[in-house]
Structure 1
């Protein structure tokens, strides 16, 4: 982890996007632009997207698609998957994408493919991306020295919300316990360094994948790092999965 290798850092930069190399390699299974195995594992170990799609109950799939993909047809798609996989399991990216498109349809004015949000949700879930982001933010708090800078680039609202909540929480003094209002105040561990910064038209023209990027930054104070309380992040409650290295 970050704080196992870095101490007294001048700065920490977290780029939360998926690399173009991963997206463009069909054999990694991140995209349905080209056919590939339904994988999506960044570390290439542990639970794959195919494992999730072919074994999780429809209710759990619906929660994943709804929370992580903000997919309005989450329930319909989950029930379709549960029914279809009894005849033939999903193993390829285009098979899943085509099944979703056939089931929910695609209007002439739709800007994105009907499977886009489901694929996003599966990728985030398989790699525990929101949990990894939360752990990285807490580690950065421990690793940065006073005056050190934290900069985080996110690419969708779920990630940005987590970063925004963390910086807001750490930029305010807080009591040691909400059950003990007279407890000593804990000093703020960060100062906000402006609001969210988005790319300009020229940058988007040069790199279209930067369109949804947002940069947030904060400066470390000299206050001791706080305990790692995951409740501040508001992470959605999703099916529990044993991750590689967890017991």
Structure 2
């Protein structure tokens, strides 16, 4: 196994200029509050704190390694006095705000998926490129690892996870192979699982679309961390927390996340007056105004500099009235 990286983790915030542009108008007033719901290594937050000297940040992350690294970066930048870091999953947002006496916020940022730190530390088990314990927990104290899923789920459950969360065409074949091989010896490491997935996919298919295990590892990570369930609960809570004029920005990395974000934001940006009513009713008017047209992708130049940005999409909206 490769040694753990030493020194500051390499971190290139995705869509940084666009995120700064989208959130900026809502964060200019002294005392404005930004919630970075997925703090990670604080790349976006550091840029926004620097750009807006009166901004306060509440940063959430369930990963203690990420919080520690982010805290060090924030301290180095001399910004600690404007920052509160909270060990929390982002669907805990309402409780976090209540605990800190915050009634409304001017911005919320979600940068979804796995962080650079998690990918680049082999021991976390997120990567199929290095053999490591089959873990994948964003919170290392969480109750369920990827090994638990692989070794205890029924073939049907595994097929569902791989098909729904990984959009894996060969989910059934992979699940059957896992069931067969774990009876011989339980899975404990990423390399053996990645090899099994590769061998379960027809050779012609393996030649395109990147590493054959990419979709399966994504699916397991989503299941272990309940990522889509958390997002489904957190995004409406974030919208509710926004002040009028406040903005929410969401970066996604696969179609499952993006679909949830699109549906949630568009629903709140749509007039809900019943069709039988002759005129729009104010209490059913949109709560949000969309700021992006569809999911905006990074530029070719950014993708060339940072290949991990290739699948990123950003959507954003502004709160235009309080709910009735």
TM-score band, normalised by shorter chain:
0.7 to 0.9
Deviation sequence 1:97-153 (CA, Å, 0-9, x none): 111212324447323122111100000111011111122211111110011111111
Give the corresponding residue for 2:42. Answer: none
Give the corresponding residue for 1:173. Answer: 271
8 Å CA contact 1:188, 1:223 repeated in 2: no
Q: Does 1:208 align with 2:307?
A: yes
Are residues 47 and 175 of structure 1, via their aligned partners in 2, closer, same or farther at CA, if it must alter by over 3 Å? farther
SS at match of 1:218: strand
Tell me how far apart the structure 2 counterparts of residues 84 and 109 of structure 1 sit (CA, whole Å): 24
Aligned counterpart in structure 1 of residue 118 of structure 2, from 9, 18, 22: 22
Structure number having the greater helix percentage: 2
Aligned counterpart in structure 1 of residue 173 of structure 2, from 73, 76, 83: 76
Deviation sequence 1:153-193 (CA, Å, 0-9, x none): 111111111110011111113269x9xx78x7633221111
Deviation sequence 1:67-88 (CA, Å, 0-9, x none): 1000000011111111111110
Q: Does 1:145 align with 2:145?
A: no
Give the corresponding residue for 1:218. Answer: 317
Q: Does 1:120 align with 2:211?
A: no
8 Å CA contact 1:105, 1:114 repeated in 2: no
SS at match of 1:85: helix
Tell me how far apart the structure 2 counterparts of residues 145 and 47 of structure 1 sit (CA, whole Å): 37
Q: Does 1:38 align with 2:134?
A: yes
What TM-score, normalized to structure 1? Answer: 0.84
Q: Does 1:9 align with 2:105?
A: yes
Give the corresponding residue for 2:185. Answer: 88
Give the corresponding residue for 2:161. Answer: 64
Tell me how far apart the structure 2 counterparts of residues 136 and 144 of structure 1 sit (CA, whole Å): 13
SS at match of 2:183: coil
What TM-score, normalized to structure 2? Answer: 0.65
For structure 1, which segment, 41-50 or 103-112, has the greater mean C-alpha deviation from structure 2 after superposition?
103-112
Give the RMSD, CA atoms, in angstroms. 1.9
Aligned counterpart in structure 2 of residue 194 of structure 1, from 292, 296, 299: 292
Tell me how far apart the structure 1 counterparts of residues 125 and 223 of structure 2 sit (CA, whole Å): 14
SS at match of 1:13: strand
Tell me how far apart the structure 1 counterparts of residues 226 and 273 of structure 2 sit (CA, whole Å): 30
Give the corresponding residue for 1:97. Answer: 194
8 Å CA contact 1:71, 1:118 repeated in 2: yes
Tell me how far apart the structure 2 counterparts of residues 116 and 169 of structure 1 sit (CA, whole Å): 32
